[in-house]
Every structure is written in C-alpha cells, then in structure tokens.
Structure 1
Amino acid sequence: PSHADYTYEKKYGIRDYRGGGRSSARETACRVVAGAIAKQLLKEVTIHAYTSSVGDIFLEKPYQDLDFSKIESNAVRCPDKDTAERMISKIKDIKKQGDTIGGTVTCVLQNVPVGLGEPVFDKLHAELGKAMLSINAVKGFEYGSGFCGAKMTGSEHNDLFNADGSTKTNLSGGIQGGISNGMDVYFRVAFKPVATIIQKQNALDSSGNIVEMQGKGRHDPCVVPRAIPIVEAMAALVLADYYLLNKIYN
C-alpha cells in the first residue's frame, strides 16, 4: 500500500520488488553529486536545509534565530538541541511500534542576487516547487508566508520597502512576480511517512488477490533527516540554472 509498485506495474509492466527501483531514494545520490557541482557556481549564495518538524513536534523558532552550524550536530539534523532530542525520542517510539512518521524540511537560501526567475511559466518559486516535488516521498511545498499568508490581510502581508530596496519584512519569501528580490528565499517541504512498515497489513498481489503482508529488512522510520542534502542539492540546481540563464542577458 502507498508504494509506486502498482503504478509502475500498470504503466511499464514491470517493477523492482527489491526496493522500488526509480521510486527509491537511492536515485537521489546523483542529485546530491550534481548539487555539489552547482553550488560551486553560486559562490556568494549559502544554502541551508534542516529538519523543522517530525510528526507533531515542530521547531518553533524562526530561522533567523538558529545557528545553522548546529544542523549536523545530531541525528535528525535539527539545529535546536531541545527540539532535536524530542524528535529523536518520537522517531524511536514510532520505530518500536513497527511504524513510520513524516515531517518537514525547511530550506533557506541567502545572498541570492536580484533577478533570478522568469515572469510567467518559469517563475523561481515554481521551479523550486517542481524540483522539491520531484523528490521521492514529498507531498507538499510552500514558500514565504505559504498557507499562513492566506489568513492575512494585504496590510499585514505587504513587505514595506527600505530606502535601499530591501524590505522590512519578508513574507514574500524573497520572490516577487516569480523573480528573486534579493531577500532570503525560504521554503518548506513536506515528506510523507515511509510506505513500508513493519506491521501486518492487507496488500494486493499480482493476481488481484487481497493478501496479508508485513515489511521486512532495514527501513527508515523517518526519511526527513536523510532528505536534507537532497533538498539543498535540488535548490542549488535550480539557482544554477537561473544563474547561467542570466549570463545570457548580461
């Protein structure tokens, strides 16, 4: 249930039962390699992704109050020690139950130059969303104020200007009209719980019968911490594309 096996079987007439084939996160290794190369083009830009929630445990602090150097200091890649410990405890409890849990990754792009992105179909946030949604297990993407912005009035949401062109707030998430405005670009990516669980559940076999199955082997109870370098890599690839495109204009 909830694996890509069924859709792959119906579309291609074959599936890789050993671990999902192209739907496995193993295919993201090449993305991380490519992202590392892309980052070398973006010498001024810094990209930091971190685990911002696991299940119902959220890192409440805004990213401006976090020390990104602490992201790699714990197993869940959360830059806040207390929240990280609660996340780790939650994942361990879920694993004991033979179950899995989802969460979110927040990514912050700083020192992004003004002018990256195109005004209609190739908006910067649209390409970032496409890149993130191409990652296995991703179920949602929001940038800037995201869905919270839908609750606000225009007077609350507008980012007022400073004289130098920067803005006093950044609910736009560093993008306006699909083009970067020089402020931090930040977004959040939602990951579903891993489909393989070590519990008995009903499944469909190749003959169309409902059968009982149970997952076996090593399976992550939560993929969110492993997704951090993938999110960073995909963000770097998107920015590198626009960086090279802008060189044509210049």
Structure 2
Amino acid sequence: MSSLLVDERPMLILPSLAEKVGLNEAVLIQQIHYWLEKSRHIKEGRKWIYNTYKDWKKQMPFWSHATIGRTIRSLEEMGFLISANFNASKMDKTKWYTIDYKKIAELEESLGIEHRVSQAEEMNITDWDSEDDNVQQPIPETTTKTTAEKKDIPYAAVIEYLNSQTHSAYRTESKKTKKLIRARWLEGFRLDDFKKVIDLKAEEWLHDPYWRKFLRPETLFGTRFESYLNQKPLGKQLREEDFNLDD
C-alpha cells in the first residue's frame, strides 16, 4: 500500500463544516481544536495555543503564509476564532488563539447536529489547574483542618439545594462533588455562599439551552466560585403578565 495513505496522521474535517465556513477555514479550525485539547495554557478562563504563521506553515506546508493569514482573518471575522497577545514582551507579536465554542454550538444547532462538549470547550468554561497561571489548587485530603471541622461540612444540604434549583439529581455521596465542596468550605465559604452561587448561576443559565449544562458541581464549586459569588444579580426580566394591558 502507498505510504502516502498510511504513514502520516490525516487531517479530518466535516463536509458540513467546510460547506458553512469554507474548506481552508474548516481545516485550520480543526487543527486549532486539536491543539487546544492538549493545551495547558489557561488565560482568562480559556484554553489557548500560540503560533506564528511560520509555525502554522510547518503543520500545513501546502499553504503559503498569505493563505494562512487570510484563513485566520476569515475565522476571526466570522467569530469562530478569538486571538490575543499574552506575550511577556511587547515586541513579541506571536498571536494566541482559542475557539469560540458557543459560536460553534450555534452553527451545529443551525445544521441540526447534536452538540457534544469537548474537553477544550469544557475548560473554556471552567477554570482548571494551570501551573503557568498559578491557579489556586483545591485543598487536598491531607489538609491540616481537624476531622471535626470536616464533619461539619453540609455536603448533603449543598447538593440537595443544587438539585432543587436546577432540576438535577446529583448524588449526595459523590466523592468528587464532596471534594469540591470541601475545598471551598476550607477556604472560608459557608452554606449561604453556596446557595447564593447556585441561585445566581441558575438565574443566568437555567433557561439557556447552551449554558444550562454547566449548572454542575465542577463548574459552580470550582476555582471560579468566589467570582461567581461576587457576581451582580441579573436585572428583573419584564414579562407580559407584569403589565396590566387592560388599562
């Protein structure tokens, strides 16, 4: 069999994506997604990768620098690609890239394709451990807090409240969920704080088909807990029944 067919890792694209955004754009955004899945660079709550046009050309030698530049600009203009500069030196113009996965989800919805949350997308919503950004680590099992303090943590009350407000069925004995609650509790947060975060994010996300899947312990009780707690409540949504239309 020809080595051209088996010796190199192929680049895969979906015809439906190429039809909507363009062939070159589909190839590049798939490649960016591939590297985002492996990236450990987390900035502003998103996973990022960085490359120069020269670096991109090494991965896609069949394109010129001009084609790479046009394709990147096209994806940026359509809103699928977000770029920034997080370099320490202002002289370093290497661009950083991430994908607007919400925009991708909207495209999938328009095509009638079921949306599946990838690891990269999940990490663009939830803060995860990152050495280069010094994200605060959850307090481990071997914390110096006493056993008595640990026993006082109202795991069941937090989880049951989450279930009641988000119409979920998370288990009160889940070790993963209890670890998240314990980490926040030992940082000084209490039951009312958990309830406030749940209420704020439920109000914001519950009725949004895309965002409601993030009403889960690993998102709400993760390292962004304090920022969620200090979030301003949404303004009251006025509905038709709020008005007396007979006056």
TM-score (norm 2): 0.24
Q: Which structure carries more strand by proportion?
A: 1
Bigger RCO of structures 1 and 2 (CA < 8 A, at least 6 apart):
1
Which protein has the larger Cα radius of gyration, Structure 1 or Structure 2? Answer: 2
Q: Which structure carries more helix by proportion?
A: 2
TM-score (norm 1): 0.24
